[in-house]
Homo-oligomer: A and B are copies of this chain.
Amino acid sequence: MDIAFVLYPGMTALDLTGPYEVLAPNPGVRAHFVAATPGPVTCDSGMVITAGSALGDLPRPDVIVVPGGSGWRAALDNETELVAWLAAAYPHATWTTSVCTGSTLLAKAGILTGRPATTHWSVRDVLADLGATVSTERVVIDGDVVTAAGVSAGIDMGLRLAAEVWGEETAQRIQLVLEYDPQPPFDTGSVDSAPPEMVEAVRRLVRG
């Protein structure tokens, strides 16, 4: 199983690292880090991750994982090669997935038209404008497409996908390996529970 973990400048590292840490260690998986140009890719808060392959080197991955990032708007404008690769690779992939604003790239590639999908809460209208039927769920599985809400939701998405691919017991075991028994210190992780003025401040921040 070839998994394409997609990289582009301005992505958020945790968007990708969540599902990667769940999916990559499993038997038979070949984890590929792919970008328009191979080499170092700088994430939105400075971490640098290496793309080992060009997109064109991996035209038919079995699983595709697309992260979001603070650079989501620039990516929508500039990552034309990535969007074209997604459109071409999707029909052949078993699973096509995104985390956070990464779903806007799937939508731009025409993969989400008329389909239920989720994204970071602050850009739901952007995803709707790109043709998706926006869900407020944390993880949305619609046939062969799996989308996750903001950043940390990629861990939940990865575990849900692992259960689909390898069965629940394997996914449960991975959850134990990752000691994923979260204890968020505050009740502000959701747009429904955070104070309205905080929601507005973060909305402005993420939308740029």
A residues whose Cβ falls under 8 Å from a Cβ of B: 5, 12-14, 17-18, 20-21, 24-25, 31, 33, 40, 44-50, 52, 100, 120-121, 138-139, 149-153, 155-156, 159-160, 163, 168-169, 171-173, 175-186, 188-191, 193-194, 198-199, 201-202, 205-206
Contacts and interface: CB of A to CB of B under 8 A. Distances in A.
Contacts of A50: 40, 48-50
Contact of A198 (B18, B139, B173): B173
B48 A33 contact: yes
Given A21-B151, A47-B20, A188 B173 contact: yes
Contacts of A155: 152, 182
A179 B151 contact: yes
Contact of A184 (B48, B121, B159, B191): B159
A181 B184 contact: yes
15 contacts: A14-B14, A14-B21, A24-B46, A25-B44, A31-B46, A31-B47, A33-B48, A47-B49, A151-B178, A152-B179, A156-B184, A159-B184, A171-B186, A176-B188, A179-B191
A49 B46 contact: no
Contact of A150 (B171, B177, B194): B177
A11 B181 CA distance: 21
A170 B183 CA distance: 18
Given A24-B45, A155-B182, A182-B156, A189 B205 contact: no
